[in-house]
Structure 1
Amino acid sequence: MKATRANSPRMVTPLNVHQMVRLMGQWGLGEGALHTQLASHLRMLVVSGKLAAGVRLPSERSLAEALDVSRNTVGSAFDELRGDGILTSRRGDGTYVSSARQFLGVRGDDRFESFLANAPSIGPRIDLRSAALPGLRLVVDAASVVGPELAPLVDSHGYVPEGLPALRVEVAKYYSSIGLPTIQDQILITSGAQQAMRMAAVSMLEPGSVALVEEPSFRGAIEVLRAAGARLEPIRRGPYGIETSELIAAVRRTKPKLLVMQSTVHNPTGSVMNTGRRRQLAITATNLGLTVLDDTTLADAMIDEPPATPMAAWGSSVITVGSVSKSFWGGLRVGWLRADPATVAALASIKAGEDLGTSLLAQVTTARLLPRIDEARAERSRVLGAARDLVVGSLTELLPEWEPVVPVGGASLWVRLPIPIATTLVQRAERLGVQLLPGPTFSCVDDFDDHLRIGFAASHAELLAGVRALAEAWRIVGNRG
């Protein structure tokens, strides 16, 4: 394919420094000088097409600060790539990618890079990026006795786009038991919550449509909306959730097609909107004619409170997304979407054309698990509570100037730093053996560089070692502000 020149009118949006760092991933953990490793990784990003022709890179100074290296390191890497014709620079105009394997048009975001396989790193790593929980023993018990339910299904073709009837019934009971009366026809089974969100977004959004997104927000929501070509407008989430007045103002200002939010356990903050706030937002959205995509994936990972009634109990324009990823095990890849029957039927048609249906084996297992949801909630509460208290206590002792938001649920801690250097801090922590996610990962406008998310799904020993290493990283870079 013919390369696109840097001065071509077919220019893409410049990369900001936070996007660039996310693309870089684990770049400086190998052998050799840092500038050599940096040049090699940048070359790989260009060759793979992740850095498209015409992209303007961040300045050498800003990239050096974010990567926690000297400006000479970045300058030497850029010089090498300029010499190879991969980059080109013009005085006063910046540095551009001269050529790439392909030109990327509408694409997703880069916030899921931490889930991808990276190059082998040097030495042991403590991964505090993920809030994904290990599976419960209940999953093994359920999977070992699915034979009788599975046997008659094997006689069919096995394609059930809307989902196994027995599981749809169980999901309907699940919602009815927490205050949201639901029937089978309101449930669509999906291959995880991410697919449910994506199908709903694609069905309601056209490229360029406006979608309101909580700030901060789950990175999966940002990924889904970016991939759908939506124009994301942030709406700030306060300590108690979105203010009704701010929602009304945002709708009038931006004319959105969709609001994506988490009314129960919020990722990354771990906060939960109270019942009054959920009710008022649902009523307001319905009155405004605004569809709400309410991601309740973490609803069964409460630590201090009982399960919350979903927003859809008070608003007909609310579509609810859920899954068993946090309650039982992410490896099942079973999620669902709750909406009115007509919407469910329409989305089932989309799913039929996409994958013909979610694995029946996983659905049979999940149908056996859901009646035991109270056992799963109790186990999650016990394990998550102990891990949360351990991390909060360690931070209070070692980093007293930090301001953690003590979560009500979930497996992550949202922490405010005294100065906005989270991206740089994460780079330094990486070299000390700890992997974390900086605040901009959870912002559709790359805000919150004064925040950090610490996942506490790891073992207690790893959590303690990780916080100690993080304190050492802060000692090194924290005085730069």
Structure 2
Amino acid sequence: MTTALSARALASLLAGWHTIGGGPAYSLLADRIRLLILDGRIALGTRLPAERELATQLELSRTTVSAAYGALRETGYLTSIRGSGSVARMPLAGSIAPDPQQSELLDLSKATLPAIPAVARAAETAAAQLPAYLGESGFDPIGIRVLREALAQRYTERGLPTDADQIMVTVGAQHAIALIARTLLSRGDRALIENPTYPHGLEALRGAGARMVPISVTTDGGWDEDGTEQAIQRSSPAIGYLMPDHHNPTGVSMPPEQRARVLALAERHGTSLIADETMAELGFGGDPEHPPFAAFGRALTIGSVGKTVWGGLRLGWIRADRSVIQRLVRARFAGDLGTPILEQLIVTALLPDYDRILEERRALLRTGHDFLVRELRTRFPDWEVPSAQGGLTLWVNLGVPVSSQLTLAARNEGLTLAAGPRFGLDGAFERFLRIPFSYPQDQTLRAVEALQRAWQTVLRHPVPASDELLPQVI
């Protein structure tokens, strides 16, 4: 079923599209729509509004909108389907002539670390162990016991007593979020979610039909506790999705006392809280590491090795009460038939050395963080560049609502970044930009130099002095 985007909704996403760059209006409009598709704010398969409707909403001639849509079709970002109008898509590989500039793009839209050499050695160990499992079907919805026992032991050592029956192994953290959402949510239920938040977590909840109840998280104040209390008391959400450790994108962590209060409040109102702890052990600021979120009250916990070891290892897990794990097992076969055995064996082989791996990762991130903060504060004195105590990213306040414009200008300089609204509900956070510090220093320097050139491009054009161009968040 094709999802339709109204002219009014698209106009909100396009706010300020004409304030950057030169050239004809149709080209600027096409560039902004292309950015929205690349950024994921217009989902693939979405039907865009009719040309006449969008032209009326933007107060443009239909000819301008028609030319913009035509340019997007030529480059493969829109396709015309009889009866469905213009539908968002991505260009097929080889369908358009390669652009030498695009092939040189430095992609910092992903907050990731490079793989460690130990992955290859662990894969050799796992391959040698694989024959012992070949007599089984391989369709295992809960995960091999040796891995679940190792993960349970790690939770126990971190202050949360756990046994193997409280662990389900998943195909990464994103799969875990989606599985929990479709198991615990009914369409139309409310879901508590941070704003800003991890975009794919938001997408998983929306995919399950949830109605969002946002709570504010900031780099200087953390979680708005009064707002969280009011949101839970007034809406009694069925579930809540939180990232309490090194929150993506702000980098903040929730204090222990606040964790206990939020969990107690959620339990009183029947709200099941999901703690995304994929970056919980990536603290490098010297603060003591907190026990797992569920050590302070009842919660479901999500973990993975995607951020700590390598994104190519598509393996995560859920830690929850046995009754919840049983529900998830029963629901899982509707979506997939289990986690690959070989990848489970690879992670099992890595876990005995996991503490050393984490120490090396923290040292790498500390160096990357300090370098990026120093470069940004030197080159962009008007920006608010916070320091983080862990995680992979900085949530930078640009001071003016031009994040989408800057992201588009950066792409023209060979740099891909995720604009601030990618992490918010309904187009918020045009003042912010997420910048990862997890890349090698030479790539980070190239990125900052490209960003500096892009910023000069933005400054040459009118910049809104207020939030008038920001869409309303409801």
TM-score relative to the length of structure 2 = 0.82
Partner of 1:158: 138
In the TM superposition, residue 311 of structure 1 has moved relative to its aligned partner by: 1.5
Is the CA contact (8 Å cut-off) linking 2:168 and 2:317 kept in structure 1? yes
Partner of 2:112: 132
- Mark the runs of 5 or more structure 1 residues left unpaired by the alignment: 5-9, 64-70, 87-96
CA–CA separation in structure 1 for the residues paired with 2:70 and 2:314 = 47
CA–CA separation in structure 2 for the residues paired with 1:82 and 1:387 = 41
Identity of aligned residues (%): 32
- For structure 1, which segment, 48-57 or 332-341, has the greater mean C-alpha deviation from structure 2 after superposition? 48-57
Q: Does 1:404 align with 2:385?
A: yes
Please point out which of 404, 414, 420 is paired with 1:423.
Answer: 404
CA–CA separation in structure 1 for the residues paired with 2:364 and 2:82 = 47
- Mark the runs of 5 or more structure 2 residues left unpaired by the alignment: 464-474
Q: Does 1:122 align with 2:109?
A: no
Partner of 1:93: none
CA–CA separation in structure 2 for the residues paired with 1:165 and 1:307 = 28
In the TM superposition, residue 297 of structure 1 has moved relative to its aligned partner by: 0.8
Structure 1 residues 177-229: Cα deviation after superposition (integer angstroms, max 9, x where no partner): 11111111111110000011001011122222211110110111111112112
RMSD: 3.8
Q: Residue 332 of structure 1: SS of its match in structure 2?
A: coil
Structure 2 counterpart of 1:122, one-letter code: P
Partner of 1:330: 311
Partner of 1:448: 429
Structure 1 residues 228-269: Cα deviation after superposition (integer angstroms, max 9, x where no partner): 121112111143532333222112322311111101121001
Residues 299 and 81 of structure 1: is their aligned pair in 2 closer, same or farther, counting only changes over 3 Å?
closer
Partner of 1:296: 277
Residues 438 and 314 of structure 1: is their aligned pair in 2 closer, same or farther, counting only changes over 3 Å?
same
In the TM superposition, residue 49 of structure 1 has moved relative to its aligned partner by: 4.1
Partner of 1:390: 371
Q: Does 1:219 align with 2:202?
A: no
Is the CA contact (8 Å cut-off) linking 1:18 and 1:423 kept in structure 2? no
Please point out which of 161, 175, 179 is paired with 2:155.
Answer: 175
Is the CA contact (8 Å cut-off) linking 1:302 and 1:377 kept in structure 2? no
Q: Residue 300 of structure 1: SS of its match in structure 2?
A: coil
Q: Residue 9 of structure 2: SS of its match in structure 1?
A: coil
CA–CA separation in structure 2 for the residues paired with 1:397 and 1:153 = 56
Partner of 2:259: 278
CA–CA separation in structure 2 for the residues paired with 1:203 and 1:118 = 39
Please point out which of 465, 470, 478 is paired with 2:446.
Answer: 465
Residues 240 and 56 of structure 1: is their aligned pair in 2 closer, same or farther, counting only changes over 3 Å?
farther
Partner of 1:51: 47
Partner of 1:314: 296
Residues 261 and 60 of structure 1: is their aligned pair in 2 closer, same or farther, counting only changes over 3 Å?
farther
CA–CA separation in structure 2 for the residues paired with 1:81 and 1:390 = 40
In the TM superposition, residue 287 of structure 1 has moved relative to its aligned partner by: 2.3
Structure 2 counterpart of 1:80, one-letter code: A
CA–CA separation in structure 2 for the residues paired with 1:276 and 1:415 = 27
CA–CA separation in structure 2 for the residues paired with 1:439 and 1:51 = 24
The correspondence of residues 43-122 of structure 1 with structure 2, limited to 5 A, is: 49-52=45-48, 77-80=64-67, 100-101=81-82, 120-122=98-100
Q: Residue 463 of structure 1: SS of its match in structure 2?
A: helix
Structure 1 residues 64-88: Cα deviation after superposition (integer angstroms, max 9, x where no partner): xxxxxxx8xx97541437999x9xx
CA–CA separation in structure 1 for the residues paired with 2:357 and 2:12 = 37
CA–CA separation in structure 2 for the residues paired with 1:373 and 1:102 = 54
- For structure 1, which segment, 423-432 or 306-315, has the greater mean C-alpha deviation from structure 2 after superposition? 306-315
Is the CA contact (8 Å cut-off) linking 2:303 and 2:317 kept in structure 1? yes
Residues 241 and 62 of structure 1: is their aligned pair in 2 closer, same or farther, counting only changes over 3 Å?
farther
CA–CA separation in structure 2 for the residues paired with 1:457 and 1:207 = 37
Residues 381 and 174 of structure 1: is their aligned pair in 2 closer, same or farther, counting only changes over 3 Å?
same
Structure 1 residues 20-64: Cα deviation after superposition (integer angstroms, max 9, x where no partner): 69xx9xxx9xxx988469669979x89x8432466997669979x
Please point out which of 217, 225, 230 is paired with 2:210.
Answer: 230
Residues 240 and 82 of structure 1: is their aligned pair in 2 closer, same or farther, counting only changes over 3 Å?
closer
CA–CA separation in structure 1 for the residues paired with 2:114 and 2:430 = 29
Q: Residue 125 of structure 2: SS of its match in structure 1?
A: coil
Is the CA contact (8 Å cut-off) linking 2:5 and 2:47 kept in structure 1? no
Partner of 2:10: 16
CA–CA separation in structure 2 for the residues paired with 1:447 and 1:204 = 28
Is the CA contact (8 Å cut-off) linking 1:39 and 1:77 kept in structure 2? no
Count of aligned pairs between the two proteins: 438
In the TM superposition, residue 274 of structure 1 has moved relative to its aligned partner by: 2.0
CA–CA separation in structure 2 for the residues paired with 1:261 and 1:185 = 24
